[in-house]
Amino acid sequence: MKEWKNREVSARRAEILAHAEKIFAAKGFHKATMAEIASSAGFATGSLYQLFDNKEDLFATVILELTDAALERLTNAVGKQTTASAQITAFITELFSVTQKNTNLLTILMRGDVVVASRVSHRIRLDLIEKTERQIAIAEDILQRGVSDGEFMSGINCRITAMSLLGGVRFFAFYRIITNEEFVLTQEIIEDFLQTFMRGIR
């Protein structure tokens, strides 16, 4: 009985977070309301306060859990490969997938709404910095290993290259957001990006 109850709470929480993500992206933190999020998810407003302290807590949870999941996916994708070339290919491919999936998150971050209550804003900012640095470190480590193993050319600045890689992929989502166009990342686009990048570091 307890296990069933836990699953029910977990499912309800996930449903609320999914609707909150969409509403925060569409309306921003300040215009979104707990009542609207609850109604969209099909729950009473009081149900939200059983799981989240307030709107700031819900907002922070949306951002932190999305970034947690993105980092985990990147780490897992790289971990399945053995060579530096295969790892950087997996990293880029998964980064495209994660970026495409998290357009709502990027929209929220672009709004600048992370500047909410000072305590929550500080918590989000520190977490985002940490996870961004970890993503850079993953790519940088792969590049350094590739240089050491002779797979990639020597003399490249691995940190700058890693940062350029992350920025290049995320620009596709940025373009989609600012133009409000339906931009689908096809396999052909990903392959073209991969080939261009790999030619530059080999």
Domain CATH for 65: 1.10.357.10
Is residue 59 within 8 Å of residue 34, measured between CB atoms? no
Which of 27-31, 71-75, 112-116, 152-156 shows the lowest per-residue confidence on average (mean pLDDT)?
112-116
Q: What is the pLDDT of residue 119?
A: 66
> Of all helices (H) and strands (E), which one includes residue 39?
helix 34-41
Is residue 20 within 8 Å of residue 37, measured between CB atoms? yes
Residues 94, 148 share a domain: yes
pTM: 0.85
Q: Round to whole Å and give the CA distance between 159 and 156.
A: 9
pLDDT tops 60 at residue 202 = no
The CATH number of residue 24's host domain is 1.10.10.60
Residues 196, 107 share a domain: yes
pLDDT tens for 14-56 read 999 999 999 999 999 889 999 999 999 999 999 899 999 999 9
Residues 99, 34 share a domain: no
CA-CA distances (angstroms) from residue 55 to 3, 32, 94, 115?
Answer: 28, 9, 31, 13
Number of domains, the chain = 2
Unique residue bearing structure tokens 């989502």: 173
Q: pLDDT grade, residue 81 (50/70/90)?
A: very high
Range of the domain at 24: 1-52
Q: What is the pLDDT of residue 115?
A: 63
Is residue 45 within 8 Å of residue 38, measured between CB atoms? yes
Q: Round to whole Å and give the CA distance between 36 and 23.
A: 8
Name, in order, each residue with C-beta under 8 angstroms of 168's C-beta and a sequence gap of 6 or more. 193, 197
Residues 58, 46 share a domain: no
Residues 71, 11 share a domain: no
pLDDT tens for 126-144 read 899 999 999 999 999 999 9
Residues 42, 71 share a domain: no
Residues 73, 141 share a domain: yes
Indicate the average pLDDT of the chain: 88
